């Protein structure tokens, strides 16, 4: 069985991050408003990122990590811009070391 972490872009341009064991069904639930809570009043929603994991715990840990990220870092993840993710992880006060640039 696979587990997924996913990110939705909501109609108000906010992001929603969650995890599931059935990505297609879960996205459909968000899309039609069956998920009470954050996304139900921010439809339509669009899947902008997903990643598969072997265990629910791995997906949950990834969800928690991504939820703690800045909007810029989430956008870099959506864009697949790993260098930007590293730069944002180091922060403005600590630029990337030359060996990572």
Average pLDDT score over the chain? 92
Residue whose C-alpha is closest to residue 48's, from 3, 2, 5: 5
Q: What domains appear along the chain, each with residue ranges and CATH number? A: 1-68 (3.40.1440.10), 70-101 (no CATH)
Residue in the structure block whose two tokens are 């899947």: 47
Residue of higher predicted confidence among 77 and 35: 77
**pLDDT digit string (tens) for 50-90?**
999 999 999 999 999 999 999 999 999 999 999 999 999 88
Does residue 101 carry a pLDDT above 50? Answer: no
């Amino acid at each position: 069985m696979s587990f997924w972490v996913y990110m939705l872009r909501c109609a108000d341009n906010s992001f929603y991050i969650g995890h599931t064991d059935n990505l297609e069904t879960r996205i459909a639930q968000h899309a039609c408003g069956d998920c009470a809570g954050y996304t139900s009043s921010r439809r339509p929603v669009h899947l902008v990122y997903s990643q598969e994991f072997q265990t629910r715990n791995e997906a949950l840990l990834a969800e928690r990590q991504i939820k703690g990220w800045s909007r810029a870092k989430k956008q870099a993840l959506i864009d697949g811009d790993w260098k930007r993710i590293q730069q944002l992880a180091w922060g403005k006060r600590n630029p990337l070391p030359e060996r990572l640039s």
